[in-house]
Structure 1
Amino acid sequence: MKKFIQKTVAGVSALAMTAALSATAVPAFADEYEAVQAQNFVDSFVDENENAIAQYCVENCESLDEAAELMELYEEGCALRVAEQTNDAISTASSNNHHINGAYYSGTNVASTPHRVVLFEMNTAAAMKGSIQITWNHGLVSYDPTKNKFISEEGYNLKASVDTDEDIGEEYININGRVKKTTGAVSRICRFEIGTLSKATSEAAILSAFVLDARGMFSTNGEDSNFELHTYALGDFDHNGVVDAADASYILEMITYHKISFSYDSYNPFISSSICVLAADATEDGILDLADVRYVNNHKVS
């Protein structure tokens, strides 16, 4: 749509140069007409927030029809958020802070989209080296190093393998390498794909399937480590175990305003916000854009 608007400017100039509707002027006129339609569509949203998101959709969607479809999705999502009482207020251009009155991990729902595990270092002043071992409940989730991708975050050089404790015959994920000192509130160091099995009936159950043992990590600067393991589902922005229009509405706000914060009762807001961003990147291409909204739209529950 952005390219279309640029073509519109050229079309208007061409019309000003001649009074005759030549063969080249006809498509320029059509572009001008569509540009007026697009502006009328944006102007139809009197709410400041909706107007800004509609403008974003018009500038970035493939067509005006798609922009209209995504705005319907956005409005549906906002209605869901109000019904679920998951936010203090619908965010505006000057306020993108959302608070969830409830548990961070759903005890009743499990999202149908692929799941990921992410590992954080809570004490960013710590510099560590060694290994972290993660065991998992094979009845709830699956991990196959030949199929499930492991990602060491930028700035780290961590390696993962699956080994077996010979004494008890238990498999575990062995993550080796160095964890550097950083300056952020928390540090995301790695993540990996997992499979979810039918016995895992909630997001809380998926999290409980993993046990983290960081006793093999040793400090190189005298600061103790504090690792935390979390899970999330692609597209489940609000982390409630359901991928729906509400998630799409949050992502649309994020890509429009380039800022959003998410907090839960009695939970670290830096962790929740970081996971929300990871879940928002549903296509996992490292870019938050309309492709992620389309993913949610294609995978949302009916």
Structure 2
Amino acid sequence: MKKFIQKTVAGVSALAMTAALSATAVPAFADEYEAVQAQNFVDSFVDENENAIAQYCVENCESLDEAAELMELYEEGCALRVAEQTNDAISTESSNDHHINGAYYSGTNVASTPHRVVLFEMNTAAAMKGSIQITWNHGLVSCDPIKNTKDGFKSEKTHSLHAFFETNEETGEEYLDINGRIKNTTGAVSLMCRFGIDVFPKATSEAAVLSAFVLDARGMFSTNGKDSNFELHTYALGDFDHNGVVDAADASYMLELITYHKISFSYDSYNASISSSVCVLAADATEDGVVDLADVQYVNNHKVS
């Protein structure tokens, strides 16, 4: 357990802390005192799921105050999820498995956090080479992953892909040419690459953001006799449940993900492997390759009020 920086438990009483020790404990026993405080805090959550998440927060936060803040965020998120279930948005739910009755892409909301485009290969047994061309609606989104180094084009290490801006000589239309080799891998789907985009006000929903893009993979050819198809998807940083709103519900799902190391999201008439993969990508809001408490704090700092 990390040593707690703070000696008080401000705000913890709001989370039903059942046993608080005297604030006048002897300084020589400060570490032991803090450990008892932390354990009392964890024990105050009788629900097995909440207890496990509280334990994770206590072990990984810098202070007990921070752990208490994240547990308040988690409880707020769970309340939002109950409201969604009441509205028949979620039909079945466990700590690791969630089924959404609604559409995979929201037709009414668009998240305010930065958006990303991601490409998947659907048959991981196939080895491919060639090029994929992507065009987009310039009135809805702006795509410049070559010049934008912060949100630039990122090819997964498994593959060898490069991106170039090209212009159709006949129409003058700009497009992104992604070319190179895609190796055969294991798993349900293979993440190929991703890059950042800017979303304009005319794109009033996540569905509209996705509709702005057209993918042409006719330039891809198999090198091992096994063909594949490709899918383009979009997501917003921190929007774990992919509903176009970054809120406490996303933080609660992410806390469950990092506590249990597994979570599955499936949607009606949508590939569960894709939806779960996109959810995890969105959960890495800091884009450091790891989903952790920093990503939960990102959601806390950017959530809608």
TM-score after normalising by structure 1? 0.90
Give matches, 1:13-162, under 5 Å.
27-85=27-85, 86-88=89-91, 91-92=94-95, 96-144=96-144, 145-147=146-148, 148-162=151-165
| Residues 149-198 of structure 1, C-alpha deviations (whole Å, 9 max, x = no match) | 10001211100011100100000000010011122111111111111111
Q: Please state if 1:212 is matched with 2:215.
A: yes
Could you say which residue in structure 1 is the equivalent of 2:190?
Answer: 187
Q: In 2, are the aligned partners of 1:49 and 1:91 still within 8 Å (CA)?
A: no
Q: State the Cα distance separating 1:88 from its structure 2 match.
A: 4.2
> Aligned residue pairs: how many?
280
Q: State the Cα distance separating 1:91 from its structure 2 match.
A: 3.3
Q: In 1, are the aligned partners of 2:93 and 2:99 still within 8 Å (CA)?
A: no
| Residues 79-122 of structure 1, C-alpha deviations (whole Å, 9 max, x = no match) | 00010114346634xxx111111100000000000000000011
**Residues of 1 paired with 2:122 and 2:37: CA distance?**
50
Q: Which structure 2 residue ranges, 5 or more long, are not aligned?
A: 6-24
**Residues of 2 paired with 1:75 and 1:254: CA distance?**
15
**Residues of 2 paired with 1:49 and 1:89: CA distance?**
17
Q: In 2, are the aligned partners of 1:78 and 1:90 still within 8 Å (CA)?
A: no
**Residues of 2 paired with 1:98 and 1:294: CA distance?**
23
**Residues of 2 paired with 1:39 and 1:90: CA distance?**
29
**Residues of 2 paired with 1:140 and 1:2: CA distance?**
46
Q: SS at the partner of 2:90?
A: coil
**Residues of 1 paired with 2:156 and 2:3: CA distance?**
34
Structure 2 letter corresponding to 1:60: N
Structure 2 letter corresponding to 1:37: Q
Q: What percent identity do the matched residue pairs reach? A: 84
**Residues of 2 paired with 1:142 and 1:214: CA distance?**
21
Q: State the Cα distance separating 1:239 from its structure 2 match.
A: 0.2
Q: SS at the partner of 2:275?
A: helix
Q: SS at the partner of 1:158?
A: strand
Report which stretch shifted further, 245-254 or 179-188.
Answer: 179-188
Structure 1 letter corresponding to 2:55: Q
Q: Which structure 1 residue ranges, 5 or more long, are not aligned?
A: 6-24
Structure 2 letter corresponding to 1:196: V
Could you say which residue in structure 2 is the equivalent of 1:261?
Answer: 264
**Residues of 2 paired with 1:181 and 1:236: CA distance?**
30
Q: SS at the partner of 1:216?
A: strand
Task: Answer 1 or 2: which has greater helix percent.
Answer: 1
Q: Please state if 1:252 is matched with 2:216.
A: no
**Residues of 1 paired with 2:157 and 2:195: CA distance?**
14
TM-score after normalising by structure 2? 0.89
Q: SS at the partner of 2:32?
A: helix
Which of the two has higher C-alpha Rg?
A: 1
**RMSD over aligned Cα atoms:** 1.5
Q: State the Cα distance separating 1:132 from its structure 2 match.
A: 0.5
Structure 2 letter corresponding to 1:173: L
1:165 is aligned, of 153, 163, 168, to 168
Could you say which residue in structure 2 is the equivalent of 1:224?
Answer: 227
**Residues of 2 paired with 1:256 and 1:183: CA distance?**
25
Q: SS at the partner of 2:227?
A: coil
**Residues of 2 paired with 1:98 and 1:190: CA distance?**
26
Q: In 1, are the aligned partners of 2:4 and 2:64 still within 8 Å (CA)?
A: no
**Residues of 2 paired with 1:242 and 1:286: CA distance?**
22
| Residues 227-277 of structure 1, C-alpha deviations (whole Å, 9 max, x = no match) | 000000000000000000000000000000111111111110000000000
Could you say which residue in structure 2 is the equivalent of 1:13?
Answer: none
Q: State the Cα distance separating 1:28 from its structure 2 match.
A: 3.8
Cα 1:123–1:286 shift into 2, 3 Å:
same
Q: Please state if 1:275 is matched with 2:281.
A: no
